[in-house]
């Protein structure tokens, strides 16, 4: 179904007759914007709930059937935002990014010389104040226009945010400076005429806050990429039994289509003819293809690695497994609350308090008989002290330094909000394949009836080199040179046969052989008990060798689990693999608990189950099948060697496959959050201590501006300390495994 600007869907969990309307909003710049929309929509009669997903710029409203949809749109637009068509939301996000970047570049270019003129007396010249006016006016009123617009919209709704403080602080400092400049030019005799100008203060405020908005916009503008990639994974066409080629969208339930080796299965269905090995790793996350034959269910977008199938479509469109995974990701992203920045929470009461104090200061100085210029000076000093310069630096600078340090360590942190999510994380859930293990099959052991029979290895490897099966690739890699193969034949789900060196060679399951030696079969049972896969090889119908094939546990996985335990976290293994293999891997790396045979929807449900038990969960994964769980988790951590979709659905990305980097990511996030909290505390403490001094006239505006600069310097210095973060991989106490460990060895 094509998604329009307003999309009504029955709400099964809402009262009878209720509907759901989905709208896409352009112009949200922070979590407080989302809360304002939720609050105002929630006040409308007939609206039962309103949920705003800031990352996806989406609003879901549950309401009675008689609620006018136009009223929902008008309510949002009165707040200063715009409602856009769903097809245009990505373009709107890109446009917002470009506008913010352009405003910041102009502001930075103009503010830097203004600051130098104001702070370096040697650079000043006669009439330099007019140059400051020319430099800072575009910054305050053009680059900062979004702050003024949203501040006015908020005031109309009786709300104050950081936008209010940015708008008020930059405008008042600019207006005050303009008055002083004009009076001094006219030769006035009042103290105002000889006052100091603060043009650079307003410009600096706007520039620093724009920097924070730019970082935030960069982190959120690609938030829909995971969903778009999921939608594009399926086959574009299907070939019917009569040879007709249809677009995937035109397939209906009951149609039969042919799937050749190497092709994607067009949609979910049931096999009605043929046998094949299907690579379902995008769903299960497991590297071993699944053997399917008549009567078995297959999933759309999975790949037929060998054999030929005729499939009857059983689910199409939004009912397919791939579409359901996409919906799980979208729903989980929408239900994850956006953590409000500490600066916004402080400003919710700090802003009106500062304004009130400034007004009271002005009034008290007047009523106590002081001249109006002295009263204005004290009031403006309060507002300048209250300007959020240090508050504006506190979050973006720490994020910039922390994420920069993270990038140098191979850790990508997507945005400032997720840093707070790490604070209360108490459990880490690890996917197995590709996360704890390498995600590829290798031959761990070769067992032979006759140890002198080296030729069977070369012959089996030569035969398997003709197959595209992943396990075949592992066996084929045992020898560098392969013999010629004649009369090659592949039997899907059973194995392969062919003539090598004039002999009939068979490689596959037990069903290919009439005779298997007792010792060979005993070794195979022992290997299978650890979760390994056993492939037999032999001449004609007599097996003479067995290849034990398994995935490989990453060498740093045990050390990573120890590091996570050191951080005070409970570690759980979550996998679609069988209990036997999962149990062995879990024991080998030292996790606290193991959940096996878990499909994608079950992974997401397991995360919800843990959260319902009041656990704060971080999920670590690498595959498409992990995307719903990554999005649902309080903190999603993707292994960068995995799929793009897992990376897009996560909050943190580990660019290497080293699981120890997960511990580094959590530790760095916590350190960065701690730095932000320290910055905000001292920035706020500076305001709390200095505002009374300004109100009593002890601090004039110039000294107030200097104190504000010192507060900003502290924030900068404190943030730069993050560059010294090392992480667990730099610790000699973390022992790396010296021997390669196999899953199931």
Residue 343 to residues 101, 346, 526, 636, Cα–Cα distance (Å): 22, 5, 60, 24
Q: What's the CA gap between 84 and 61, in Å, rounded?
A: 16
Q: What's the CA gap between 546 and 449, in Å, rounded?
A: 9
3-state secondary structure of 234: coil
Judging by DSSP bridges, how do beta strands 503-508 and 515-516 pair with one another? unpaired
Query: What's the Rg (C-alpha) of the chain?
Result: 32
Going along 584-733, which residue ranges are E strands? 593-595, 617-621, 635-639, 652-654
Q: What's the CA gap between 247 and 259, in Å, rounded?
A: 14
Judging by DSSP bridges, how do beta strands 617-621 and 635-639 pair with one another? parallel
- The residues that bridge with 310 in the sheet, in sequence order, are 258, 273
Catalytic residues: 431
Residues ≥6 apart with Cβ < 8 Å to 414: 219, 650, 651, 652, 653
Q: What's the CA gap between 513 and 290, in Å, rounded?
A: 21
Q: What's the CA gap between 634 and 652, in Å, rounded?
A: 11
Residue 216 to residues 54, 209, 451, Cα–Cα distance (Å): 11, 11, 63
Backbone angles phi, psi at 234, to 5 degrees: -70, 165
* Residue 301: Cβ-neighbour burial (10 angstroms; 0-12, 13-18, 19+): buried
Q: What angle do CA 554, 560, 563 make, to 5 degrees?
A: 170
Two structure tokens written together for 386 = 């209250």
Which of 69, 60, 57 has the alpha carbon at shortest distance from 26? 57
Q: Tell me the CA end-to-end span of the chain in Å, nearest whole number.
A: 48
Which of 639, 660, 659, 661 has the alpha carbon at shortest distance from 649? 639
């Amino acid at each position: 179904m094509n998604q329009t600007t307003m999309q009504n869907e029955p709400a099964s969990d809402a009262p009878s007759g209720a509907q759901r309307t989905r709208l896409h909003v352009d112009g949200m710049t922070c979590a407080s914007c989302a809360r304002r929309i939720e609050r105002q929509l929630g006040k409308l009669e007939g609206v039962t709930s309103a949920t705003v997903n800031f990352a996806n710029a989406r609003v879901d409203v549950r309401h009675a059937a008689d609620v006018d949809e136009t009223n929902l749109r008008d309510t949002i637009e009165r707040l200063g935002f715009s409602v856009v068509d769903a097809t245009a939301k990505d373009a709107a996000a890109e446009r917002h990014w470009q506008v913010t970047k352009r405003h910041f570049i102009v502001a930075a270019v103009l503010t830097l010389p203004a600051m130098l003129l104001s702070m370096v007396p040697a650079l000043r010249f006669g009439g330099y104040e007019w140059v400051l006016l020319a430099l800072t006016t575009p910054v305050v009123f053009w680059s900062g226009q979004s702050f003024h617009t949203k501040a006015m919209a908020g005031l109309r709704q009786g709300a104050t945010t950081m936008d209010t403080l940015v708008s008020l602080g930059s405008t008042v400092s600019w207006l005050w400076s303009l008055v002083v400049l004009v009076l001094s030019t006219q030769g006035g005799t009042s103290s105002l005429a000889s006052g100091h100008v603060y043009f650079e203060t307003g410009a600096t405020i706007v520039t620093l806050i724009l920097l924070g908005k730019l970082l935030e916009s960069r982190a959120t503008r690609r938030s829909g990429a995971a969903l778009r990639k999921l939608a594009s994974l399926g086959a574009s066409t299907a070939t019917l039994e009569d040879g007709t080629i249809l677009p995937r969208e035109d397939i209906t339930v009951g149609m039969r289509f042919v799937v050749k080796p190497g092709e994607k299965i067009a949609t979910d269905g049931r096999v009605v003819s043929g046998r094949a090995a299907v690579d379902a790793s995008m769903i299960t996350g497991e590297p071993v293809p699944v053997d399917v034959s008549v009567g078995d269910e297959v999933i759309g977008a999975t790949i037929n690695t060998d054999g030929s199938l005729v499939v009857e479509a059983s689910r199409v469109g939004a009912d397919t497994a791939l579409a359901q995974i996409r919906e799980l990701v979208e729903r989980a992203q929408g239900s994850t609350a956006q953590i409000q920045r500490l600066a916004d929470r402080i400003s919710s009461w700090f802003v009106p308090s500062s304004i009130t104090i400034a007004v009271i200061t002005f009034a008290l100085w007047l009523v106590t008989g002081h001249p109006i210029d002295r009263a204005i000076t004290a009031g403006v000093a309060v507002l300048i002290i209250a300007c959020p310069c240090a508050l504006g630096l506190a979050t973006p600078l720490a994020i910039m330094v922390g994420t920069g340090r993270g990038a140098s360590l191979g850790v990508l942190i997507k945005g400032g909000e997720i840093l707070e999510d790490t604070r209360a994380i108490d459990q880490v859930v690890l996917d197995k394949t590709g996360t704890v293990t390498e995600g590829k099959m290798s031959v761990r052991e070769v067992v032979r009836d006759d140890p002198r029979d080296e030729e069977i290895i070369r012959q089996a490897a030569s035969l398997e080199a003709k197959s595209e099966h992943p396990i075949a690739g592992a066996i084929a890699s045992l020898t560098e040179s392969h013999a010629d193969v004649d009369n090659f034949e592949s039997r899907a789900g059973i194995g392969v046969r062919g003539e090598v060196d004039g002999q009939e060679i068979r490689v596959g399951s037990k069903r290919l052989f009439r005779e298997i030696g007792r010792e060979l079969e005993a070794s195979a049972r022992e290997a299978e008990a650890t979760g390994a896969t056993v492939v037999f090889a032999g001449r004609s119908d007599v097996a003479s060798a067995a290849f034990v094939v398994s995935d490989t546990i990453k060498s740093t996985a045990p050390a990573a689990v120890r590091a996570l335990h050191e951080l005070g976290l409970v570690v759980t293994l979550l996998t679609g693999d069988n209990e036997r293999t999962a149990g062995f891997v879990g024991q080998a790396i030292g996790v606290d608990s193991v959940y096996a045979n878990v499909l994608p929807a079950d992974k997401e449900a397991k995360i919800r189950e843990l959260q319902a038990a009041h656990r704060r969960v971080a999920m670590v994964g690498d595959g498409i099948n992990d995307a719903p769980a990554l999005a649902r988790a309080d903190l999603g951590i993707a292994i960068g060697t995995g799929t793009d979709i897992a990376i897009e659905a996560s909050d943190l990305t580990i660019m290497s496959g080293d699981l120890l980097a997960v511990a580094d990511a959590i530790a760095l996030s916590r350190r960065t959050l701690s730095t932000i909290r320290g910055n905000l505390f001292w920035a706020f403490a500076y305001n709390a201590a200095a505002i009374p001094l300004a109100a009593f006239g002890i601090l004039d505006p110039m000294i107030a501006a200097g104190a504000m600069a010192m507060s900003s310097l502290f924030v900068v210095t404190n943030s730069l300390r993050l560059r010294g973060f090392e992480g667990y991989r730099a610790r000699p106490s973390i022992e790396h495994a010296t021997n390669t460990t196999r899953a199931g060895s």
